[in-house]
Structure 1
Amino acid sequence: MDPLNCGLVAFRHAPVPLSGVCYGRLNVAAELTAEAAAAAIERGLAELRVRPRAVWSSPLSRCAAPAAELAARLGAPHAVDERLLEIAYGAWEGRAWSDIERDDPLAYAAWLRDWERVGPPGGESAIEVEARVRSFWRALGATSATSGASDAGPHLLVAHAGVLRALRVVACGTSWIEAMSAPAPHLAAEHFPLPWSALPLAGT
């Protein structure tokens, strides 16, 4: 997709210093400072030759802190939206995956069998994440279509991996299996269209 014509450019946040731990909604600090992560994303934007009209993020610091820094550097507004939070893992948050498999085998097996429709205890399924990300995507498209700024740059999102993969489903029409199979590299750009029904017609 041509980045100059896409409605949304998303970058996954910087890596976090955890391995083998379930940390969806935990407010885990990234390995890079907000300034370093913002600089990396800014370099990526320069290569794409785009200037975002707004910077979006979840409230979690690994996304919100570099997004705020980017917004200040770019002179663009920073907006926080809870629909952009990472998937909620409920009772499994902060636990090692090996401990979850050992201590909660029935729920873990049920989740592995049908993770698209079944969430962890107190958590979300993939379809539930998809629903809130779709709500954000449609609202963003509607706002862009009615803003009267058709020549403005794309929106920028500093995102969690689960949100990126949900955007692949809602904006690009991939299946969840395909969305999960493709990698989601840290601090790399991914481009998404906004809803066709919300985009202004050519010449209007």
Structure 2
Amino acid sequence: MDPLQRSLIAFRHAPVPLAGVCYGRLDVAAELSPAGAADVIERALAGLGLRPGTIWSSPLSRCAGPAAELSARLGAPHAVDDRLLEIDYGAWEGRAWSDIARDDARAYAAWLDAWERAGPPGGESALEVEARVRSFWRALAPASVASGALLHLLVAHAGVMRALRVVAGGATWPAAMSAPVPHLASERFPLPAPAVSLAGM
């Protein structure tokens, strides 16, 4: 089987106009229209000679909008999955990071010290994000294909892509966090290995 048929190709959504703001799960519009973001992703796929069998996204519009546009253009189903939501920052959503650091200094310092295991007030830890992304990833199956390279495509949030680096790529969380996740740039992740039947052995 072509390795690309055992791949998940993820593109981060287009930028949002909220520099310095903790926006997490807020459903904020991206700076590019869904059609504009889909143009960029479609050109990248064409340059690689790839076509998606399924297009995945979270329900938030900055991911779901381009995914739906690509679905209509490419004739591939669009699947929305809540496990692909951005990290939940709880009480900090919608606030400037500078305000959080000033006004919630103790909670902010505690989170910075233990972010892998502890979330913001009312929010998620990195390990909780990892658990739901791992559940999604483990459920993916190799794409069947009659001709051409067919694969899973994901329009993703940065937190989900970093979790995939851990889940599918074997990175540590500090390593996953240290590397940037550029907007509308792709990363390739392998799919989980198929289960091996022990029947008859």
Question: Do they superpose with TM above 0.5?
Answer: yes
Aligned residue in 1 for 2:13: 13
CA distance in 1, matches of 2:59, 2:18: 19
By how many angstroms is 1:105 displaced?
1.1
CA distance in 1, matches of 2:3, 2:96: 38
Specify which structure has the higher proportion of strand. Answer: 2
Q: Which residue of 2 aligns with 1:140?
A: 140
CA-based RMSD: 1.8
Deviation of residue 198 (structure 1)? 4.6
Gaps of 5+ in 1: none
Match of 1:194 in 2: 191
Code of the aligned partner of 2:152: H
Deviation at 1:5, TM superposition (A): 4.6
Alignment match, 1:68: 68
Match of 1:161 among 158, 161, 169: 158
TM-score of the aligned structures, taking structure 1 as reference length: 0.91
AA aligned to 1:159 is A
C-alpha distance in structure 2 between counterparts of 1:134 and 1:169, whole Å: 9
1:7 Cα deviation (Å)?
A: 1.7
Supply the distance in 1 between the matched residues of 2:11 and 2:195 (Cα, whole angstroms): 23
Task: Give the distance between the partners of 1:51 and 1:196, measured in 2 at CA.
Answer: 22
Secondary structure of 1:192 counterpart: strand
Q: CA deviation at 1:102?
A: 1.1
Change (3 A) 1:199 1:52: farther
Letter of the aligned partner of 1:196 in structure 2? A
Alignment map for 1:99-138 (pairs within 5 Å): 99-138=99-138
2: CA distance, partners of 1:150 / 1:177: 37
Report SS of the residue matched to 1:108: helix
Shift of 1:199: 9.0
Counterpart Cα distance in 1 of 2:3 and 2:158: 20
Query: Identity over the aligned pairs, expressed in percent?
Result: 74
SS of 1:106's partner is helix
Write the distance in 2 (CA, Å) between the matches of 1:3 and 1:130. Answer: 24
- Between the two proteins, the alignment pairs up a number of residues equal to 194
For 2:178 and 2:194, how far apart are their aligned partners in 1?
29
- Which AA in structure 1 matches 2:155? V
How much has 1:46 moved relative to structure 2? Answer: 0.6
AA of the residue aligned to 1:175: T
CA distance in 2, matches of 1:140, 1:134: 10
Secondary structure in structure 1 of the residue aligned to 2:155: strand
Query: In 2, distance between residues paired with 1:198 and 1:72?
Result: 33
User: 1:4 offset after TM fit, Å?
Assistant: 2.9
State the TM-score, normalizing by the size of structure 2: 0.92
Deviations 1:114-136 (Å, cap 9, x if unpaired)? 10001000000000000000000
SS of 1:52's partner is strand
